[in-house]
Structure 1
Amino acid sequence: MTEFKKQISIPESELQYRWQKCRRFLREVAPEAGGLLAFSRLQVYYLTGTFVNGAVWIPLEGEPILFVRKSVERARIESAVRNILSFKSFKDLAPLAKDCGSPFSEVVGVETAGLTWQLGEMLTSRMKDVRFVPADKALAFSRALKSEYELEIMRMTGERHHHGLFNVLHERIKPGMTERDIAHAVWNVFFELGHQGNMRMQAFGEEIFLGHVSAGDSGIYPSSFNGPLGLRGEHPSSPFMGSASKRWEKGMPLSADVGFVLEGYHTDKTQTYWAGSKESIPSEVLSAQSFCEDMQALAADMLKPGATPSEIYEAVMKEADKRGFSEGFMGFGECKVPFIGHGIGLTVDGFPPIAKGFDLIIEEGMVFAIEPKQSIHGVGMMGVENTFEVTANGSRCITGDNFDIVCVE
């Protein structure tokens, strides 16, 4: 039998830090629970360092256990977790945990979003001696607070992201190209810079493929995606990237709202281009772009330890109203979104959003994408988006320091 060399990408010390964060937040959101049980592959990866089909048990006291359906061999090659066990049915979990010395508690915090309703009912029917309580917030809070290990990956991701969109792409595109052709050019640039291709969304049912490439009025085209930028997309069955029937013509803005991912971690950025010279940009367009850059600066200045997402959102919305931009800010009509940014990390739509009602205290090590955008009737969407790391002294942008419109003639 072929033996493969162990290849651990996430060191045990990093996993230990993540487990301790989960325990900290579990005590806050579900104090009656004696541990946390997660099922989604992404949570399993976050807590173990291997993307396998299974479940992970993090007791408040004792060693974590990784239960694996497929593949135990892969998990043992990639993960620093000491207890990696094979299982076939949910009824196997409790006996295996007991035999391993980390038995399930009477009350278990569970990742409710990690199972379908069908599988959730199956779990409870197979483990009738356990009372399950929701623990999704403990996982969300933990993932929102990044370690230095995670931040180093995201800084590298952001650097390549900015380089590709600001310094390289404009040399590969020109007016007259279709949105699809431009989207393919983005892919080529990004893959050359190491983009890993597979991006992820957290919200149930949300999908993503590269992001949005929107020329002219595509930027205000009705969108089913939970974001402000509209797009026609490839096809109704795949409303992403860009349309083969829409061309970027002279005198049009172009928005590339596309993500970059390295080692599972995303950064988000929107770069706006103009088909023509800088002198050809109408004052209405320049005014909208300048406003969005100001709103990004306002949010970034407030993004510091001790602040809350809700107060940042309120300040930006008040300023938009004061300056007369509220109608098309963050979209028109039913397409207007109720946030101006979001957490980001292993998923694009990370927790928490910068929105009304989200009062989680911001801490050093959190990372947010700030995306103020302004709709203009008959023109499209202007704006910016960049990814910001929260430091002890405030926030700093990790996706570049130049937010100008890039002109392509």
Structure 2
Amino acid sequence: MSDLESNVVVPRSELEARWAKCRRFLPEVAPQAGGMLCFSRLQIYYLSGSFVNGAVWLPLEGEPVLFVRRSYERASIESSIKNIVSFRSFKDIAPLAKEAGQPLTEVIGAETAGLTWQLGEMLTSRMSEYKFVPGDNVLALSRAMKSEWELEIMREVGHLHNTALAEVLPELIETGMSELEISKYLWNIFFELGHEGIMRMQTFNEEIFLGHVSAGDSGIYPSSFNGPLGLRGVHPVSPFMGSGDKFWDENTPLAVDCGFVMEGYHTDKTQLYWSGPQSSIPKDVLDAQLFCQDMETLAAENLKPGTLVSDVFAMVMAEADKQGYMDGFMGIGESKVPFIGHGIGLTVDGFPPIAKGFDLPIEEGMVFALEPKQGIPGVGMVGVENTFEVTPDGGRCITGDMHDIICIE
């Protein structure tokens, strides 16, 4: 046994609560399955507390089994799972699970998003006697429900996030800076405050690096990222942060939409800045910004247990239509996105999105990023984004209480 110790260990009680949540949802998502088999490192971490290469078998009852390719020693230090075994091939999983006292069941709920097509075919060929059914929604629903342990981390992340964007960055930026210069200032602030650097996306083939720093019409520049705020980015192959060739001109907006992450948990926040005094903001720009803030408030007030996620989306969209903002709301033209917010936690794009068709009842402990934004041709993008914890009284913001435009004179 190694004498090494981990600097952070996910409590056994926290892991057991996660297993219980998955076991709650598995009969709803895959009623024939006798357990879940997970493969992606993030889901392995969620269920075991160690970010290793391998798989986790979570039966409906009893102790899970953590199969590890690399590193067994690391997993043994970090995870409190009692059944940790080394393995080399998918064909080893069944006999090792049986040896650990937790044999696989005939029907298995599989994390299908955790494998490429190539690896999926390899899995089914090596384990042809088992039937695999999709179980991804089990994990999505479980991770949407945050424990108090997780919420405590996210509240601290949100506090530091707000400190960076609302207090520190405004003291350092000025008109005439390039988007890339502002991005570098922000990275330095984030790292000083404890940002871990690596942010994660759940959606296949989606990437993120810092976020979007968009001056003026960059805010309505076409984006390959699934969000309303456009950006030019560093380069076509790195469409993140900001461009070194795009400068923040006088009397224009600067939209900074960047995530913050610590201990694996993210918050999301967009802060809008204006290069000039409050009096220089055109009425249509200010009105659009205030409309977005009102929509954020409307959505947050309705993030109550029992309310359907789709109903929150519908009421915000109805209000946008009523007030005449539909054309640029949540993006312009093909850049418009079909949601007004999303779950957040171990990934930025957490489940569920606040969108049409997601008739899922909101529950206390869920956390959402609300991001109403308005594209204005010839100007850019205005709006707001903050992260909210669901309480019995509605969404409580954990990324600061001041959501107005910050003017830099």
| Cα deviation 1:248-291 (Å, max 9, x = unaligned) | 01111000000000100000000000001111111111001000
In structure 2, the residue matched to 1:164 is: 164
| Cα deviation 1:291-312 (Å, max 9, x = unaligned) | 0000000100111100111111
| Cα deviation 1:220-254 (Å, max 9, x = unaligned) | 00111000000000000000000000000111100
In structure 2, the residue matched to 1:277 is: 277
For 1:374, the aligned partner's letter is Q
In structure 1, the residue matched to 2:338 is: 338
In structure 2, the residue matched to 1:116 is: 116
CA drift at 1:62: 1.6
Instruction: For 1:315-326, list aligned pairs within 5 A.
Output: 315-326=315-326
SS in 2 for 1:56: strand
| Cα deviation 1:349-387 (Å, max 9, x = unaligned) | 000000000011110000000000001110000000000
Q: Does structure 2 conserve the Cα–Cα contact (< 8 Å) formed by 1:8 and 1:79?
A: no
CA drift at 1:393: 2.4
For 1:228, the aligned partner's letter is P
Distance (whole Å) between structure 1 residues aligned to residue 249 and residue 353 of structure 2: 35
Q: Does structure 2 conserve the Cα–Cα contact (< 8 Å) formed by 1:168 and 1:189?
A: yes
SS in 1 for 2:44: helix
Q: Does structure 2 conserve the Cα–Cα contact (< 8 Å) formed by 1:8 and 1:49?
A: no
Distance (whole Å) between structure 2 residues aligned to residue 348 and residue 62 of structure 1: 32
In structure 1, the residue matched to 2:266 is: 266
SS in 2 for 1:395: strand
Distance (whole Å) between structure 2 residues aligned to residue 106 and residue 367 of structure 1: 35
Distance (whole Å) between structure 2 residues aligned to residue 2 and residue 90 of structure 1: 27
CA drift at 1:6: 4.9
Distance (whole Å) between structure 2 residues aligned to residue 379 and residue 115 of structure 1: 43
For 2:379, the aligned partner's letter is V
Instruction: For 1:2-401, list aligned pairs within 5 A.
Output: 3-401=3-401
Q: CA RMSD in A?
A: 0.9
Distance (whole Å) between structure 1 residues aligned to residue 8 and residue 208 of structure 2: 28
Q: Does structure 2 conserve the Cα–Cα contact (< 8 Å) formed by 1:178 and 1:245?
A: yes
CA drift at 1:2: 6.8
Distance (whole Å) between structure 1 residues aligned to residue 39 and residue 96 of structure 2: 16
Distance (whole Å) between structure 1 residues aligned to residue 322 and residue 6 of structure 2: 59
Could you tell me the TM-score, scaled by structure 2's length?
0.99
| Cα deviation 1:302-330 (Å, max 9, x = unaligned) | 11100111111110011001001000000
Distance (whole Å) between structure 2 residues aligned to residue 76 and residue 280 of structure 1: 60
For 2:125, the aligned partner's letter is S
Q: Does structure 2 conserve the Cα–Cα contact (< 8 Å) formed by 1:8 and 1:77?
A: no
CA drift at 1:7: 4.8
CA drift at 1:3: 3.3
Q: Does structure 1 conserve the Cα–Cα contact (< 8 Å) formed by 2:301 and 2:393?
A: no
Distance (whole Å) between structure 2 residues aligned to residue 300 and residue 393 of structure 1: 10
Q: Does structure 2 conserve the Cα–Cα contact (< 8 Å) formed by 1:268 and 1:369?
A: yes
| Ranges in structure 2 where 5+ consecutive residues have no aligned partner | none
For 1:362, the aligned partner's letter is I
CA drift at 1:4: 1.1
| Ranges in structure 1 where 5+ consecutive residues have no aligned partner | none
Q: Does structure 1 conserve the Cα–Cα contact (< 8 Å) formed by 2:217 and 2:379?
A: yes
The count of corresponding residues between Structure 1 and Structure 2 is: 409
SS in 1 for 2:196: coil
Q: Does structure 1 conserve the Cα–Cα contact (< 8 Å) formed by 2:252 and 2:275?
A: yes
Q: Does structure 1 conserve the Cα–Cα contact (< 8 Å) formed by 2:40 and 2:115?
A: yes
For 2:148, the aligned partner's letter is E
Could you tell me the TM-score, scaled by structure 1's length?
0.99
| Cα deviation 1:25-53 (Å, max 9, x = unaligned) | 00111111000000000000010011000
For 2:277, the aligned partner's letter is S
For 2:332, the aligned partner's letter is F
